[in-house]
Amino acid sequence: MDGLLCDTEVVYRDSMFATAAEHGHDMPLSLFKSMIGLPGPMSDRQVLNHFGEDFPIAAFNARVSEHVEIACERGIDLKTGVIELLDTLDALDLPRAIATSSSHRAVEAHLGKTGVLPRFHAVIARGDYVNGKPNPDPFLKAAERLGIAPEFCLALEDSHNGVRAASSAGMMTIMVPDLLDPTQEMHALCVRIAADLHEVRGLLG
């Protein structure tokens, strides 16, 4: 969802950088990138590994959430091609689901005002599965909810951990890079690296 459907990865990046600065720390971009696509507890572990076990992670997360909520109130932009892709999926009568590491509350906050949520047949978010990305659970749950075998599903992902999760679920995977460049591993796991969702739509039409 984040970085694929809505332009929120930059919001999280800027919010984390600002919050780290408020705590007297510089947060390297490499640390933020290592957290993209991870569920909350695993992201927390990355932060603690970098800043130390005494880093006030609960206060940090609370302040990051405040920054993000302010951005959400201003409105989150959809990524280019989202509406057109959904139109194509409607025309082809293809079911689709969101499989995200974020909470249901975050899904509503990020996408609620855009009007696209009702166009998905299922939303799989934190709490709907046991193990988050890079484990396959979110995608397997999405396939189950849609009633489609994973090998007949196409997964779209912007993060490395998301690609790993979708691929290990046995799905055809397309990476649509946002803040993370495709690596050799990503090329090996994906059937295609697409520039944007318009390119993905062109593959379906």
Phi first, then psi: what are they for 137, rounded to 5°? -50, -50
pTM confidence score: 0.89
pLDDT bin (cut points 50, 70, 90) of residue 195 is very high
Asked if pLDDT for residue 87 goes beyond 80, the answer is yes
Q: How far apart are CA 180 and CA 164, in angstroms?
A: 14
> Tell me: the pLDDT tens digits for 63-75?
999 999 898 888 8
Give the pLDDT confidence score for residue 71 in this predicted structure: 87
CB 1 within 8 A of CB 107: yes
Cis amide leading into 134 (omega within 30): yes
Q: How far apart are CA 148 and CA 129, in angstroms?
A: 17
State the DSSP H helix or E strand holding residue 104, giving kind and residue range, or none if neither. Answer: helix 104-111
Classify 196 as helix, strand or coil. coil
- The 10 Å CB-count burial string (b at 16+, else e) for 58-92 is eebbebbeebbeebbeeebebbebbeebbebbeee
Give the pLDDT confidence score for residue 73 in this predicted structure: 85
Give the pLDDT confidence score for residue 128 in this predicted structure: 97
Residue 190 Cα to chain centre, angstroms: 16
> Tell me: the pLDDT tens digits for 103-161?
999 999 899 989 999 999 999 999 999 999 999 999 999 999 999 999 999 999 999 99
CB-count exposure of residue 158 (10 Å: 0-12, 13-18, 19+): buried
